Amino acid sequence: MDTASPATAPRSLGAEGSPVSAIGFGCWAIGGPHWRNGDPIGWGEVDDDESIAAVRAALDAGITFFDTADVYGCGHSERVLARALKGHRDEVVIATKFGYTYDEERRESPGTDASPDYIRRACEASLRRLDADVLDLYQFHLGGEDLSSAAAVRDTLEDLVSEGKIKAYGWSTDDPERAAFFAEGEHCKAIQQAFNVLGGNEDTLAVAERDGLASIVRGPLGMGLLTGRMDRDTTFSDSDVRRGWDFSGSHGDQLGKLERIRDILTADGRTLAQGSLGWLLARSPAFVPIPGIRTVAQAEENAGVLAVGPLSSDQLAEIDTVLQAAD
pLDDT at residue 6, as a whole number: 53
pTM of the predicted model as reported, rounded to 2 decimal places = 0.96
Burial class (CB in 10 A: 0-12, 13-18, 19+), 119: buried
136 and 126 Cβ atoms separated by less than 8 Å: no
pLDDT digits (tens, 9 = 90+) for 280-298: 999 999 999 999 999 999 9
Bridge partner residues of 20 (DSSP): 11
CA distance 19 to 14: 9
CATH numbers and ranges of domains, the chain: 17-326 (3.20.20.100)
Listed in order, strand segments (DSSP E) in 43-135 are: 65-67, 93-98
For 73-86, what is the mean pLDDT? Answer: 99
Indicate whether 180 pLDDT > 50. Answer: yes
231 and 215 Cβ atoms separated by less than 8 Å: no
Q: What is the mean pLDDT of the chain?
A: 96
For 21-49, what is the mean pLDDT? Answer: 97
Q: Which of 63, 67, 126, 132 is nearest to 91 (CA)?
A: 63
CA distance 167 to 187: 8
pLDDT at residue 2, as a whole number: 41
pLDDT at residue 14, as a whole number: 86
